[in-house]
Amino acid sequence: MAVSRERRRSSWRNFAPRSDRVRRGASSATLAVGAALAVLAANALGCTRTTELFPSLTAACVAPGPNVHLGGDGEASCAGAIAAGLGRYALCTCNDLVVTGNLDVGVPMGAGGAPGRPPPGPPPPSFLTAVGGDGNIQVVGMTRTKGSLVSAGASDLVFGRGGFIGGNVHAAGALTASPLSDLLVAGDAYVGGAIDGRVDIQGSLHAPVDATISPGVRAHNLVQEAVTVDSPCQCGAGPVFDVAAAVAARKDKNADDALSFDVSLLADLGSNETLDWSCGEYYVPAFQTADGTTLDMRVHGRVGIFVAGDLRLGGTFTVSLDPDSELDLVVAGSVFTTGRVFGSPATPRRTRLWVGSTTVSLPDVIQFGAAVYAPSAVFSAGAGMTFAGTLFAGTLSVAGDVHITYDTSATAAGQSCGLAPPPPIE
């Protein structure tokens, strides 16, 4: 790509490290040669700049470095430990969960991108990949989940077109299934009200003495008793930590000076970039990329990036993680992206997104990979959503099918903090 001499100089001035970050002993001639080589390399890569082109700095810590902490300094505030507790659920919502299409959670995709069918016969109960809602749950299409499903809402738990639940079902209110399609429950069912429709329960049905049970309901055993269901997401207790306060605490105490670029670069990123982050906690006042840009974050150790405002991404946002590396992206504002990739779909447990405000907005088609905690947000994804990781949101708003690939190692995130995995949801 032809670039004028003046434009090349301007590009280097804008993105070079500050003068107080240059290694001692480096001559001006050496730096001038390095700058020229960097610009030539950038031009050869189609104007994609990377932090490999800048003079390297002595890292503030040795990878993987200390754990990132959120809301305190003790073991309980270790980011991995918090994520492990939340990771007991593949999907948990504070408000009513309404899915207008099919809900597939932890179910392998078959040929043609459709969820695979369960093997013949009753599957053994699985207590991984749970789904929970502090409110009511209604699925208009089919429901296929590998683990248990917990609904604390007082109204009906509704399964519009049947399906299967790989673990137990807990419903504080009534359970309504389709009269035309079977709902298979591999474990037990605990229902606080009436049970209606075609339901095949491989274990025991626990229901009140006065509960109405339709003729289409089959169970290995009936236990008549009062049924109560605790809120699975515990949203009434408030956020697990104050996201905005955690970000504000890094404003004057951070590792920004250890970076080979200035964080102001992220305020309005207009070109493709590859940025390297060594282990540490960083404060970013503003984070926005232009339409169509690609940003690759290469993470070398345990990295926390604390964003004071909104995160607005106009294109692809990928996270490349070294072994034993983790990224905690803590956003005080909302998150908006129009890109086709977000995070690390292949290793979603090691990219964590914490959102303090009210909106997480995704496009219609996206490869998404992260553990998300956004208890105050409406998490919206247009016409259908394919998601890898774990999702904890105030409300899920998707006009179509929801497919979540659960990372079975999600509850192991606290091991780096010295904490054993929490028990699964039964």
Which burial class, exposed, middle or buried, applies to 359 when counting CB atoms under 10 A from its CB (0-12, 13-18, 19+)?
middle
Contact 145, 129 (CB under 8 A): yes
Phi, psi values for residue 79, rounded to 5°: -55, -40
Q: Phi/psi at 72 (nearest 5 deg)?
A: 160, -175
Tell me what the pLDDT averaged over the chain comes to. Answer: 85
pLDDT at 19: 32
- Quote the Cα angle for 113-118-121, to 5°: 165
Would you say 423 and 93 are in contact if contact means Cβ atoms under 8 Å apart? no
Please list, in sequence order, all residues whose beta carbon lies within 8 angstroms of the beta carbon of residue 196, skipping any fewer than 6 positions away.
Answer: 174, 175, 176, 177, 212, 214, 216, 217
Better-predicted residue by pLDDT, 76 or 309: 309
What pLDDT, on a 0 to 100 scale, did the predictor assign at position 114? 52
Per-residue pLDDT band for 251 (boundaries 50, 70, 90) equals very high
In the chain, the amino acid numbered 105 is: V
| Beta carbons within 8 Å of 130's beta carbon, 6+ residues apart | 88, 89, 90, 145, 147, 148, 149, 150, 167, 232, 424, 425
CA distance 212 to 201: 16
Average pLDDT score over residue span 8-33: 34
H or E segment and range at residue 243: helix 243-249
**pLDDT for position 294:** 97
Nearest CA to 305 among 18, 102, 68, 24? 68
CA angle (390 as vertex; 363, 325 as ends), nearest 5: 100
> 302 versus 44: which is more confidently predicted?
302
Confidence category of residue 111, pLDDT binned at 50, 70, 90: very low
The most confident of the ranges 3-12, 18-27, 178-187 is: 178-187
- How many Cβ atoms sit within 10 Å of the Cβ of residue 44? 10
User: CB count, 10 Å around CB of 414?
Assistant: 23
Q: What confidence tens digit (pLDDT) does each residue in 124-178 have?
A: 777 889 999 999 999 999 999 999 999 999 999 999 999 999 999 999 999 999 9
**pLDDT recorded at residue 36:** 37
